[in-house]
Structure 1
Amino acid sequence: MNLSPFLARIVPLAVAFLLTACAGTPDAGPAPAGYYRVAQGDTLWRIATKNSRSVAEIKRWNKLSDNDIQTGQLLRVTPPGGSPASSASSSKPVPAPAKPATVDIRLAWPVPGQVVARYNGSTMKGIALAVQPGEPVKAAAGGKVVYVGGGIRAYGNLIVIKHDARVITVYAYNRELLVKDGASVQAGQVIAKAGGTAGVPNDRMHFEVRVDGKAVDPSPYLPDR
């Protein structure tokens, strides 16, 4: 199943946040240093990733309590009193490289089940792994949780973990989520229970690796079986 459109705009209707104290008008100019002006199609997850932040940090710094944003609003993307990130001063999207470069990271299998669908770069942006309902899903490497939620029914309960400035992993079709947004996790830590929810497969999980925002074949980063 192709998750690429989803990861380009994680939960566009459910995972966005209404700015309170820092709101701007939709037709305002460029964002000041330390802030980001929401562009059309943006989500909080996308803004946080672009600025090397977590969703929890963006939410906390902006005193956000619900799941709406509006084009033209300002979001603080650096800590109050902190130094602005280089990417925070403009609302223009930062283009990703056409082809992700290789990275030096080794991942563990999130579940022991066999691969039932492989990455092909077009219709399948990750791999599907066979699971038993309720079995543990483990973090493939240490990192920070940057998204937890079930806002898109077709993908069930989803977790996204950021491992460094370039690499994230994606865990979809979970029955139960066991970590919270912003949490730090260790390699092999149980983060969810597999098995899906209504509307998604309950006999498999979807796993992705993304480098510089681009989906790559997870196989080279996983140990041989």
Structure 2
Amino acid sequence: MNYRSSQHQAASAPRSRVHQDLGRLVLLLLLTVMALPSLVGCNTSAIYGDSAYNPPVYWGRHVVERGETLYSIAWRYGRDYRELGDANNIAPPYRIYPGQVIRLDLRGSRPAGSPNVASSPQPPRKAAKPRPAPKPQPAPKVTRKPDTSVDVSRQTQTVSNINWRWPHVGTVIAKYSTSGKVNKGIDIAGNSGDPVKAAADGSVVYAGNGLLGYGNLIIINHNEHYLSAYAHNRRILVKEGQEVKQGQTIAELGSTGTDGDKLHFEIRRNGNPVDPLPYLPGR
């Protein structure tokens, strides 16, 4: 090999490595651009760190994970499960599968008796702006008051055609609030392992721990308008699809997803949180 040939090879080697590095960089950029459509608008758990996050949510989308149900997804984003299903062409019994994309930027048809759900599509969210406090819900109609001759743990009250009872007899330590420190239900004190009872007859539509901040959670569907939820359980004693009776023990009270033993109890009407106290027998 002569001097000129070896000099040419020495000069071409660095250029070859540069070309390879540039090629890798271009490929990486192309892969990133191709991935962007699948990332833009996808809601993750980071949404809970957003100071403007106050459901209902009408932007982005949700990718279904194992163990989730349409009921739990609708609960997470403050939507009516029927409306969200209609928006995504998911018909009863609302079966979904891991990896399925649920569009949140679309609105379905308005369920009967749900004035807060519109049928027109909503544009994607543009900026993080605090939502105004939701309008107060009208007081529910009590059709049968509780029998005060029995103890509180067994008293029931019929409201909106559902017979309700306390899910736990402990002291209410935090009430429903739509301003200040928002609380979409009530918190009831108790001891770890205390029985948690179904507040009314219904069907278990979610039993798991996939909703951030709720710990071990049970959601029960009572009729086409009402759902109830029982959070922070130590142990769940029922399964999805199981029919339960009012007063049936469905869980053991605990502290999962929170800082102390308590039951967080919610009632939602057409996807909207309502104050549970008017539905439960007075103390």
SS of residue in 2 equivalent to 1:155: coil
Determine whether 1:164 maps to 2:179.
no
Task: Say which of 182, 206, 224 aligns to 2:264.
Answer: 206
Identify the residue that residue 70 of structure 1 maps to in structure 2.
Answer: 101
SS of residue in 2 equivalent to 1:92: coil
Q: Distance in 1 between matches of 2:99 and 2:226?
A: 27
Assess, with a 3 A threshold, how the Cα gap between structure 1 residues 129 and 44 changes in structure 2: closer, same or farther.
Answer: closer
Counterpart contact for 2:64–2:101, Cα < 8 Å: no
Task: Say which of 165, 179, 183 aligns to 1:108.
Answer: 165
Q: Distance in 2 between matches of 1:149 and 1:137?
A: 15
Which structure has the larger Rg?
2
Cα deviation 1:58-78 (Å, max 9, x = unaligned): 33xx7x4xx331257xxxxxx
- The amino acid across from 2:94 in the alignment is I
Structure 1 position 151, deviation (Å): 1.0
Task: Say which of 245, 250, 262 aligns to 1:186.
Answer: 245
Counterpart contact for 1:100–1:214, Cα < 8 Å: no
How large is the RMSD of aligned CA atoms in angstroms? 3.6
Considering fraction of residues, name the structure with more helix.
Answer: 2
SS of residue in 1 equivalent to 2:213: helix
Counterpart contact for 2:63–2:101, Cα < 8 Å: no
Q: Percent identity at matched positions?
A: 38
Q: Distance in 1 between matches of 2:74 and 2:271?
A: 15
Determine whether 1:224 maps to 2:282.
yes
Task: Say which of 122, 136, 139 aligns to 2:198.
Answer: 139
Identify the residue that residue 85 of structure 1 maps to in structure 2.
Answer: none
Structure 1 position 16, deviation (Å): 6.6
Structure 1 position 124, deviation (Å): 1.1
Q: How many residues align?
A: 173
Assess, with a 3 A threshold, how the Cα gap between structure 1 residues 115 and 13 changes in structure 2: closer, same or farther.
Answer: farther
Q: Distance in 1 between matches of 2:93 and 2:280?
A: 30
Structure 1 position 44, deviation (Å): 7.2
- The amino acid across from 1:188 in the alignment is G
Counterpart contact for 2:80–2:272, Cα < 8 Å: no
Greater length-normalized contact order (CA 8 Å, ≥ 6 residues apart): 1
Assess, with a 3 A threshold, how the Cα gap between structure 1 residues 104 and 203 changes in structure 2: closer, same or farther.
Answer: same
Counterpart contact for 1:195–1:201, Cα < 8 Å: no
Given the two structures, how large is their TM-score scaled by the length of structure 1? 0.64
Cα deviation 1:59-116 (Å, max 9, x = unaligned): 3xx7x4xx331257xxxxxxxxxxxxxxxxxx63245424656323331110110100
SS of residue in 1 equivalent to 2:164: coil
Q: Distance in 2 between matches of 1:56 and 1:178?
A: 25
Unaligned runs of 5+ residues in structure 2 are: 1-52, 117-135, 141-159
Determine whether 1:177 maps to 2:236.
yes
- The amino acid across from 2:178 in the alignment is G
1:5-154 matched pairs, under 5 angstroms: 5=54, 15=65, 43=73, 49-50=82-83, 57-59=93-95, 64=97, 67-71=98-102, 92-95=107-110, 96-98=114-116, 100=137, 102=140, 103-122=160-179, 123-154=182-213
Q: Distance in 2 between matches of 1:157 and 1:6?
A: 21
Identify the residue that residue 42 of structure 2 maps to in structure 1.
Answer: none
- The amino acid across from 2:202 in the alignment is G
Counterpart contact for 2:64–2:100, Cα < 8 Å: no
Cα deviation 1:102-158 (Å, max 9, x = unaligned): 323331110110100001234011100001001110100000111111013421011
Structure 1 position 222, deviation (Å): 0.6
Counterpart contact for 1:133–1:193, Cα < 8 Å: yes
